[in-house]
Structure 1
Amino acid sequence: MTISYDFTQAAAELGVSEKWLRKHSTRLPRTKFGRTVRFTEEDIARIWEMHHIEPQTDASPPVSTASSSLHQLKPLPSRRVTRNSA
């Protein structure tokens, strides 16, 4: 028989909060029986694979900070609402 996990156990296994897992569960591999949702070991492995990111290996030069220095930034317009007194 395959081992299955509830939300609390699966979240602990994945290192995420139970709230995060519940919020994203409709887009993740899972098994559902009526209202009961369970995660198998295979589901958890697939979730890990879905969120795995390989490091970039291109040899592009680092971005120069001189072209994006702070002195080029302009302040945003004021958000203050002014009330006209009648």
Structure 2
Amino acid sequence: MMSAVAPANAGLAALGSTELQGLAAVVNLLAQAGGLDALLGNRQSEPGDKRLHIGYSEAAERLNIPEKWLRERISTLPHRKFGKFVQFAEEDLRAISDMHFVSPGMAAEKERESALMSLQPSKRSRKRF
């Protein structure tokens, strides 16, 4: 009966076809993951993108929301403005995410708070005919 793992001192010639296929699969997985060092944490993986800011489309993708949602609410969201160009930094994306955090216990507290608030007239004026 042949063992599933070849001895450490055996060369590639000693491996059977099943072992070679398994080795090839492991090497392929390591290549996809960025190498053994990256998997073991021995080396800092370098980000491929070193941009400081990103635009609407990538920000929406990273937040997993429609780009239109970002565009419609930009006046209420943290962002950077370079002339007419709107950009988002990592801190902006985290702040947007934190702004929309929902905790089940907070709902009851907000209901009590809104019940205590007095009614106030609208600041919007009505058109009179």
What TM-score bracket applies, with the shorter chain setting the length?
Answer: 0.5 to 0.7
Give the equivalent residue in structure 1 for 2:117.
Answer: none
**Which of these two proteins has the greater Rg computed from alpha carbons?**
2
Give the equivalent residue in structure 2 for 1:75.
Answer: none
Larger helix percent = 2
Gaps in structure 2 of 5+ consecutive residues: 1-49, 107-129
- Matching of residue 25 in structure 1 with residue 74 in structure 2: yes
What are the superposed Cα offsets for residues 28-73 of structure 1, whole Å, 9 maximum, x if unpaired? 000001100000000000001100011228xxxxxxxxxxxxxxxx
Q: How big is the alpha-carbon RMSD for the aligned residues of Structure 1 and Structure 2?
A: 1.7
Greater RCO (Cα-Cα under 8 Å, separation 6 or more):
1
Report the 3-state secondary structure (helix = DSSP H, G, I; strand = E; otherwise coil) of the residue aligned with 1:32. Answer: strand
Partners of 1:55 and 1:3 in 2: how far apart? 35
- Matching of residue 54 in structure 1 with residue 103 in structure 2: yes
> TM-score with structure 1 length normalisation?
0.61
**CA shift at 1:3, angstroms?**
2.3
Aligned amino acid, residue 50 of structure 1: M
Aligned amino acid, residue 19 of structure 1: K
Query: After the TM superposition, which segments of 4 or more aligned residues of structure 1 sit over 6 Å from their partners?
Result: none
Gaps in structure 1 of 5+ consecutive residues: 58-86
Which of 84, 87, 91 aligns to 1:38? It is 87
Equivalent residue pairs, number: 57
